[in-house]
Amino acid sequence: MSYLATWILGVPFILWLRSSSHLTRMNICLGAVGVGVIAMLMLQLMAKVGPLHLQQVAFGALVSAGLALCVALTFCWIAKVPFASD
């Protein structure tokens, strides 16, 4: 699911940020958190065994947001993305 989210939502978002000259660490991290939460909600809906409770959705969103932030920061570090646009 995370690879799908990366290629369907993340890569176009990065390319759009680059083409609009808004490619910064903050923008990438904010986008990654949003994509991570959406991906986790989709995964929870697809793998649903019973009814989803608010606590399960909130915990899943929190964990996926944290993981997405870690991935985004690693990407920014490897790609040497600036903190602010020039």
What are 56-65's pLDDT values in tens digits?
Answer: 889 989 999 9
Pairwise CA distance, residues 6 & 35, whole Å: 8
The whole-chain average pLDDT of the chain stands at 88
- The model's pTM: 0.82
Q: Which residues contact residue 2 at a Cβ distance below 8 angstroms, ignoring those fewer than 6 apart? A: 39
